[in-house]
Structure 1
Amino acid sequence: MHTAFVTRPLVVALLAGLASHAHAVSFTHEGVTLDINGTINGFYVNREEKTTNQSTGVTTRKSNSALSNGLLPGWINFVATTKVDDIDIKGHISFAPGINSNSQVVGLPIGNNADGSAGNINPYSQIDTRNVYFQFGNNEWGTLKLGRDIGLFAQNIILSDMTLLGVGGTSNAGIPYNTTFGMIGHGYMYTGFQPQITYTTPKLGGLQAAAGIFQPSKFAGDETKTPGFQAKVDYDWQGNLPGKVWSGVVSQTTSCSTEPCSKKSFSASGFELGGKLKMGNFETVAYAFTGSGLGLSTVGAQFFGGGNSAGNKTDSRGYFLQGTYQLGKTKLGLNYGENRDKDGYALSGSSSSNQIKNRAYTLGVYHSLNKFITLVGEMNEERITNVLDNNTNNRNRTLSFGGILFF
């Protein structure tokens, strides 16, 4: 067996969007290449929370510190590739552990809570199997993928979010979970890693499309007769002003086996439109989406809180803006995002005062110490209005610094 250390972009779709300079260990034997690559990160996080009751004017404050993963967990990837009869074949398995334990007693591992005296048994320190799939195809007829991988809807925007290398700071990811939410829930929803069968077309110039069926979520009714559906279309170009535009859709229907149904069934759908443009050292990203029954976008997870028991859908919308500037080995960035939910599971009525509204911005500095390590410092401020109609305003300010290793 021939062993070689080679420099190549990460073959994982998610990590490839993060650090094209990352290294992998590559083994080749009898026409099969096994790449091993991954990432590790750690951050100090300090969050100040301020809650104001709009009816009484009473304000409460608290502050917490944590040592935590950022928006990414740790990640180790095993990717096997080969070519047989002009067909490119790929298999990918990954594991994503985190650095935190749930124990309140220093030194005790996950699951050992000393009969309840050392903390809860919540799975903070867990190993998440994110990628388990194989695919085959070629440049003439496209590629077919079967297994678990990143979703299509909202894939491009999370890969474009600069806080993917850092923490962000949204309050939905409570300390000390092993991933924060970055700007998820503040400008876009989380695509997730989902069981799927997807087809991707060959690239025609800068145009490429993908569509697939996905594991359905029983968010209403009591059965799912049909799978979920997602699709996206990308167009990118090079030149003096390189860039990319994309559009995506997601839909799924639930049903009731008998009537009356304890939780009325409904269909969920979402639409997105985004783009990015690079001008010298400056890059800008713009994105927007709408959802009907897709879930509480202010939480960020698809199909969570998409409607109420009567079948009334939650209406969602949001937008995200970002600008970054590359100054030598240091990238400076600022982004802003806002999501709004109304009706359905969230609230009733179309008045702006009857909406859940999340807004946040992040100011970030990302310094490439060398080809493996990036040092990160971020400041995030989040404002939440009318959380589930309880007449409160929340402001959360998060400061974080740490680093991320790619290999």
Structure 2
Amino acid sequence: MKSKRMALFLGVTAISGLACLPGSMAKADTTDDLLAKLLAKGILSQQEYDQLKQRKAVETPPPPPPAAVASASAAAVAAAPPPDPFAVRMTEKGIGVHVGPVDVTLSGEINGYYVHDSPDSVAPNHVVAGGLAAVGSSENSSIRNGLLPGNFAVELKTQQEGFDIVAHFGLYPGLNSVSGVGGANSAGAAHALATSGIDFRQQYLTVGTPSMGTVKVGRDIGLFGQQAILNDFTLFGVGSTGGNVAPSNTSLGRIGIGYVYTDFMPQITYTTPKFSGFTASVGIFQPLDAFNFSGQSGTLSAHDDPQIQAGVNYELPTDASSLLKAQLWANVVTQDLKSVSAAEALPQGRSVRGTGWDFGAKVDIADAELVAYGYTGDALGTTGLFFDGVSAAGQARSSDGYYVQGSYTFFKRFTLSGSYGLSRLGLASGEVNPLLVKTNESWAAGCKYKLTSWVNLICEYAHTTATAHGGNKAQEDTIAAGAIAFF
């Protein structure tokens, strides 16, 4: 009897509570079903059942009219506290958070390789000034970075008054200890108690809209030669070492052996919106010196005018299911190379214009990819912008180069790649310079296995040859194996 009375008390209490709820929360059919079940189980007598039915009918308010509901909802919204502008939420993808109206994202890359190098011996007939095939007394090994150092980037993205705004900071630390003479990627220092460098090569701001395009201000990758290095498969590996006994924080990959390094440069650049697959860019850049890289060239270092770079890019419009993708590009760089004093290659105030053009194409057909690239210029130089671009007398040297590359991916994870590239530096009119590099060329082959969405395992072989105008030649064979991770 006590248990029955306790159940009756609980049931009556619950029913009373339900009956007092607004009509949108307490459904009449649900309450009626509950009363009927309590009656059927003998918990309620017929008299108690009738009394509760009558009580429910009296206490349950009629449902409010739709207008009243809408008014109450509007009042609730108005009374609710405004959203916290400093609320922190995770981003939908990647590593980052939304901090109020600002997206903060973190990204980066880490790599490391075991590299075994077999250089040509030190001998008079192996001397090539400006050559990129290493020479040495013996074979050597290292644990080092590849063409990329490490990378840690922070990007802030927001929209203000209709403008899309991005602030980007990119730090590039290396594995290997460096001398520090010439920057974070200076010559290696393979001895104890040394330290690596951090190359703070990116810091830029972009402001734009979908209709006006984008303006970039700061330090970032250039236009000329940009697509050449970004599509080079040795970018994620080692390629040619540039020296392996005491490695710097980067190898060469195919820099100077198929293209001139684009570099990360101070700039103000405008890029148009995309029209039918086309975009165009033009910018003013920090002017650079004509640099005597080989020891066989002249220097020019006056900077009266900015460097100009411009380019056009085309991407074939496709959808996600398309098996064919294609990209075409062309760029130009030009700068006045002027003498600052009589000690330089030309009389003070005299100048020569350095100009380079590049062009390329990439085609993806299902799991196959083909890349073809070429460049040409006068006083452009080789390896780096305006490196060895003029003779000791200040006369322009012509240069050109190219590379071709093919890759195929099996089962979406395993990629085989191969490429050949060459960079050529001519002599100035009337110049005789038998030790100056004439060509740097290499064959490279590599395999990549996608272990996870972040981690790729890499192995490579590269054969590099440097040839001088007088016939000297040096050769280098490199084997590398390691891993690279992007997040």
- For normalisation by structure 2, the TM-score amounts to 0.71
Residue in 2 that maps onto 1:30: 100
Higher Cα Rg, which structure: 2
Which of 393, 396, 421 is the aligned partner of 1:313? 396
Residue in 2 that maps onto 1:14: none
Q: In the alignment, is the contact (CA less than 8 A) between 1:173 and 1:179 conserved in 2?
A: no
Q: Which structure 2 residues correspond to residues 159-238 of structure 1 after superposition, within 5 A? A: 159-171=230-242, 175-219=246-290, 220-237=299-316, 238=318
Cα offset, 1:261, TM superposition: 6.5
Separation in structure 2 between the aligned mates of residue 340 and residue 254 of structure 1, nearest angstrom: 21
Residue 287 of structure 2 aligns to which amino acid in structure 1? P
Following TM superposition, the consecutive aligned residue runs of length 4 or more in structure 1 with deviations greater than 6 angstroms are none
Residue 364 of structure 1 aligns to which amino acid in structure 2? G
Which of 216, 220, 234 is the aligned partner of 1:149? 220
Q: Does 1:406 align with 2:477?
A: no
SS in 2 for 1:311: coil
Which of 174, 177, 190 is the aligned partner of 1:101? 177
Q: In the alignment, is the contact (CA less than 8 A) between 2:178 and 2:197 conserved in 1?
A: no
SS in 2 for 1:308: coil
Separation in structure 1 between the aligned mates of residue 216 and residue 391 of structure 2, nearest angstrom: 34
Which of 202, 216, 224 is the aligned partner of 1:131? 202
Cα separation, partners in 2 of 1:119 and 1:263, compared to 1, 3 Å: farther
Tell me the alpha carbon deviations over residues 184-209 of structure 1, each in whole angstroms, 9 at most, x when there is no partner: 11111110100000000000011001
Separation in structure 1 between the aligned mates of residue 371 and residue 306 of structure 2, nearest angstrom: 32
Residue in 2 that maps onto 1:241: 324
Tell me the alpha carbon deviations over residues 364-396 of structure 1, each in whole angstroms, 9 at most, x when there is no partner: 00100001100000000001111xx56421110
Q: Does 1:293 align with 2:373?
A: no
Q: Does 1:334 align with 2:414?
A: no
Q: In the alignment, is the contact (CA less than 8 A) between 1:53 and 1:393 conserved in 2?
A: no
Q: Does 1:369 align with 2:451?
A: yes
Separation in structure 1 between the aligned mates of residue 145 and residue 190 of structure 2, nearest angstrom: 26
Residue in 2 that maps onto 1:343: 427
Q: In the alignment, is the contact (CA less than 8 A) between 1:225 and 1:254 conserved in 2?
A: no
SS in 2 for 1:158: helix
- Sequence identity of aligned pairs in percent? 34
Separation in structure 2 between the aligned mates of residue 60 and residue 125 of structure 1, nearest angstrom: 24
Cα offset, 1:241, TM superposition: 2.1
Residue 302 of structure 2 aligns to which amino acid in structure 1? E
Residue in 1 that maps onto 2:145: 69
Cα separation, partners in 2 of 1:256 and 1:393, compared to 1, 3 Å: closer
Separation in structure 2 between the aligned mates of residue 47 and residue 235 of structure 1, nearest angstrom: 39
Cα offset, 1:360, TM superposition: 0.3
Cα separation, partners in 2 of 1:181 and 1:120, compared to 1, 3 Å: farther
Cα offset, 1:62, TM superposition: 2.0
Residue in 1 that maps onto 2:111: 41
Which of 356, 363, 367 is the aligned partner of 1:281? 367
Q: In the alignment, is the contact (CA less than 8 A) between 1:336 and 1:361 conserved in 2?
A: yes
Tell me the alpha carbon deviations over residues 337-359 of structure 1, each in whole angstroms, 9 at most, x when there is no partner: 011112149x93699x9861111
Cα separation, partners in 2 of 1:117 and 1:310, compared to 1, 3 Å: closer
Over the aligned positions, Cα root-mean-square deviation in angstroms equals 2.9
Larger strand percent:
1
Q: In the alignment, is the contact (CA less than 8 A) between 2:126 and 2:474 conserved in 1?
A: no
Q: In the alignment, is the contact (CA less than 8 A) between 1:68 and 1:99 conserved in 2?
A: yes
Cα offset, 1:173, TM superposition: 7.3
Residue 390 of structure 2 aligns to which amino acid in structure 1? G
SS in 1 for 2:120: strand
Tell me the alpha carbon deviations over residues 211-242 of structure 1, each in whole angstroms, 9 at most, x when there is no partner: 10000013244521100011110011134421
Cα offset, 1:69, TM superposition: 0.5
Separation in structure 1 between the aligned mates of residue 479 and residue 369 of structure 2, nearest angstrom: 24
Cα offset, 1:250, TM superposition: 0.3
- For normalisation by structure 1, the TM-score amounts to 0.84
Q: In the alignment, is the contact (CA less than 8 A) between 2:332 and 2:358 conserved in 1?
A: yes
Tell me the alpha carbon deviations over residues 121-173 of structure 1, each in whole angstroms, 9 at most, x when there is no partner: 7xx71100111110100110110000000000010111100111111124367
Q: Does 1:253 align with 2:330?
A: no
Q: In the alignment, is the contact (CA less than 8 A) between 2:177 and 2:190 conserved in 1?
A: no
Cα separation, partners in 2 of 1:38 and 1:384, compared to 1, 3 Å: same
Residue 277 of structure 1 aligns to which amino acid in structure 2? V
Cα offset, 1:101, TM superposition: 1.8
Q: In the alignment, is the contact (CA less than 8 A) between 1:247 and 1:274 conserved in 2?
A: yes
Q: Does 1:394 align with 2:477?
A: no
Separation in structure 2 between the aligned mates of residue 225 and residue 217 of structure 1, nearest angstrom: 11
Cα separation, partners in 2 of 1:393 and 1:202, compared to 1, 3 Å: same
Cα offset, 1:308, TM superposition: 2.4
Cα separation, partners in 2 of 1:375 and 1:145, compared to 1, 3 Å: same
Separation in structure 1 between the aligned mates of residue 472 and residue 219 of structure 2, nearest angstrom: 39
